[in-house]
Structure 1
């Protein structure tokens, strides 16, 4: 047998018990629209399910939340009071859930795969700016080029569209590729003829090639409507080595703008005949479309600003 004190406590617990969260969600949507059908569409439920949930809530609370007239519903005073409280409560829960997801997203380590020479000569020198703007974001930079799979631990990738990636990948264009012959400024007169605006390669000029982009000279010649010429030269395993060879004065390399930009602006290299778009582009690839405020979306905006 319960004492009077226990009975009073049980009564308080019953009166303080929260109604079903599902019933509250149905009520909040119905109150916002003052229409059960629209609430049902929003919640992906049937009209009957919303109506029953509201009826059960009214029975549990012992008050009418809606006045039903001519197939329409209108909030009662009690309904308006509860609607405001539920709206505020759900808003707090949504905000907390968003903040937790954001914190969890920032706390994880992301892997960004980038073509090696672009990573070395363009991305890494600018990376401190990204870290300063997003100090809580941990992104590991991995050097790799060509085909890849997001199943191998990569979250994002920067690639030139010189190969086909799976149709399911989401691609955001970063910048167009611009290329042109580059060399040391003090060798330009020896290897180029003509004056400002009409310069061209002299016959026999030493050309620098790379195995990672063997058709670079042909692609530039086609884009610039220039003869490729023959000229002897050396071939290197990677783009970076051919550009370093140009810096050393060993010959002329084809320099993509983002790979030689810093050297040209500092006067280490020169582009005597300028650079032209070769029809290719760089993209940020992700497994799914980006959402506003996400790490991937912030990275995309920063990359475009740096480009």
Structure 2
């Protein structure tokens, strides 16, 4: 039940328009309401909150101190409500919508291209996919599942291991100048592209090779793996990225393997989901399809 002091949407819209336009007549025109309806809404809001929100000065509305404090939040709340409504409308009447949080590059290069094939399995399903690097709180964020690295589950959630992460060294053919495979000593003299959210990858690579890694951290620094892949395609340097996110570039010949070695990531890719998602037939169908897709 709504508390008596909580404003209605109509009151907040009238207040916001009056604060922005400085007069009930102009606010009424903007809201397609009558001037009396706007005045009544503002008056009711002031009575509800027990404070004067405007000073009436020569037929002009001037925000009071309390009004200015309220105005800072009201426009944000109305904007959030509008965005929430538009998000739901964008589902286009689909009965089943899965909200997924996915690692940015894995989502764009690996998951999204496969979703078209899922239509034959679930033609009435649609997705709301967000890029997330951080641990997901399903109660706060409202996601049905997350595809992450590692077992970052919150209490009451479940995890399925999807696949191990294998990192490979890639470069544009032009950067290698006719060479195919480089020794680690040769790699250490190349411009090495850095992934800013996982800054130790090249350190781990050269440590695994038994080389001193203190002198090799050079090259552009980029936030996501898809940026690193694109930088490598452009010839800006050598990339150390998960093979799964670079398969398209390898298949197209935009990049080639620059080392025969692979580095196994310290954490696998996982599907994490709350207990409530297990009760949704639509989610369990997607989960089973995803695990089968990976196995094949």
Taking structure 2 as the reference length, the TM-score comes to: 0.59
Q: Map 1:8-19 to 2 at 5 A.
A: none
Aligned counterpart, 1:206: 191
Q: Which moved more, 1:183-192 or 1:141-150?
A: 183-192
Aligned counterpart, 2:111: 123
Q: CA contact under 8 A between 1:213 and 1:239: conserved in structure 2?
A: no
Q: CA contact under 8 A between 1:193 and 1:200: conserved in structure 2?
A: no
Aligned counterpart, 1:253: 239
Cα distance per residue 1:128-152 (max 9 Å; x no partner): 1112321122221111122111122
Distance (Å, rounded) in 2 between the aligned partners of 1:169 and 1:222: 35
Q: Say whether residues 1:159 and 2:148 are aligned partners.
A: yes
Q: Map 1:218-297 to 2 at 5 A.
A: 218-222=203-207, 228=213, 230=216, 232-274=218-260, 275-288=262-275, 294-297=281-284
SS at match of 2:256: coil
Cα deviation for residue 306 of structure 1 reads: 3.4
Cα deviation for residue 192 of structure 1 reads: 7.1
Q: CA contact under 8 A between 1:192 and 1:200: conserved in structure 2?
A: no
Q: CA contact under 8 A between 1:175 and 1:283: conserved in structure 2?
A: yes
Change (3 A) 1:223 1:292: farther
Cα deviation for residue 123 of structure 1 reads: 1.1
Q: Map 1:4-83 to 2 at 5 A.
A: none
SS at match of 1:201: helix
Cα deviation for residue 251 of structure 1 reads: 0.2
Q: CA contact under 8 A between 1:180 and 1:220: conserved in structure 2?
A: no
SS at match of 1:251: coil
Aligned counterpart, 1:302: 289
Cα deviation for residue 303 of structure 1 reads: 2.3
Q: CA contact under 8 A between 2:145 and 2:277: conserved in structure 1?
A: no
SS at match of 1:154: coil
Q: CA contact under 8 A between 2:170 and 2:256: conserved in structure 1?
A: yes
Cα distance per residue 1:174-199 (max 9 Å; x no partner): 000000211112323578765xxx67
Query: Unmatched 5+ residue regions in structure 1?
Result: 1-105
Aligned counterpart, 2:95: 107
Cα distance per residue 1:50-81 (max 9 Å; x no partner): xxxxxxxxxxxxxxxxxxxxxxxxxxxxxxxx
Change (3 A) 1:226 1:188: farther
SS at match of 1:148: coil
Corresponding residue pairs, total: 198
RMSD of Structure 2 on Structure 1 (CA) = 2.8
Distance (Å, rounded) in 1 between the aligned partners of 2:210 and 2:277: 39
Larger radius of gyration: 1
Aligned counterpart, 1:183: 171
